[in-house]
Amino acid sequence: MGRMTTRQPVLRLRAGRAARRPDTLAVEEPLLVRVGGEVLTLTMRTPGQDFDLVAGWLVSEGAVAAPGDIVTMRMCPDEDNTVEVVLAPDATPPRPRAFVSSSACGVCGADSVEAVRTALRWPVSEDDTQFDVGVLSVLPDALRSEQKVFDRTGGLHAAGLFTAGGRCIEVREDVGRHNAVDKVVGAALRDRRLPLTGHVLQVSGRASFELVHKAAAAGIPVIAAVSAPSSLAVDLAEECGLTLLGFVRGGGMNVYTHQQRVRVGPIPRQRELQ
């Protein structure tokens, strides 16, 4: 597994003073994904949990839904940063990507909101789990407390999977927010947790179309972001029956879609989450 961080000498300027010192940076490297010997995508990511990343990407592409859909995954010994995947005979490989997926870009090739909605395996709209506003309010802090690499670099996004009671299931970090989500979903797939009924996906930064798509593809009924959603993210969430929260911070939030899942109540202390 590659390093998630590296050291780089910098000139530090503070309060009129200059000093040379090493700085810790988040690593960004390419990852090539081959399925059945064919190159399907090349993404820029932070090394670490690469099998989770690939498995989650295959879930969002609609290729797999259970661990048995993936026969094997291995790092190619003769090619750096390359994962070779063998799918089960009845699993359909996704179409090859004709471009490099950057750390800021995930599902850029989707044709429309309707095309994504009709491709989903699990009806998120039928998930009637209730989520207390108090629990949702403290999830950004719970996520931040698990961002170990961010503490060292200040340069990574994060995604966390939580139960309706606020218990943390998985947290992953990456230079790409969509990669962090794929790593969380891939870990859940490999743990046989899909579909993720009754869970909430908390993400750092904004809520984009691609993140809503990935949440819906994994059967997650609620996605919460500390910043704003895009208009297309709101459209897709509304169409899919997914509850989309933005500006979740400081004890407040905006509920953009399917407000019926959010239940008003007191804000608990973090140690009370379960």
Residues with catalytic annotation? 105
Of the candidates 50, 58, 272, the one whose C-alpha atom is nearest the C-alpha of residue 172 is 50
Would strands 82-87 and 5-14 be described as parallel, antiparallel, or unpaired?
unpaired
Of the candidates 166, 193, 177, 122, the one whose C-alpha atom is nearest the C-alpha of residue 274 is 166
Q: Is 215 helix (H, G, I), strand (E, B) or coil?
A: helix
Residue 25: φ, ψ to 5°: -115, 150
Of the candidates 242, 252, 192, 201, the one whose C-alpha atom is nearest the C-alpha of residue 225 is 201
Q: Is 113 helix (H, G, I), strand (E, B) or coil?
A: helix
Give every CB contact of residue 110 below 8 A, 6+ residues apart in sequence: 116, 209, 213
Longest Cα–Cα distance in the chain: 64
Helix (H) or strand (E) holding 190: helix 177-190
Classify burial at 74, counting beta carbons within 10 Å of its beta carbon; exposed 0-12, middle 13-18, buried 19 or more.
exposed
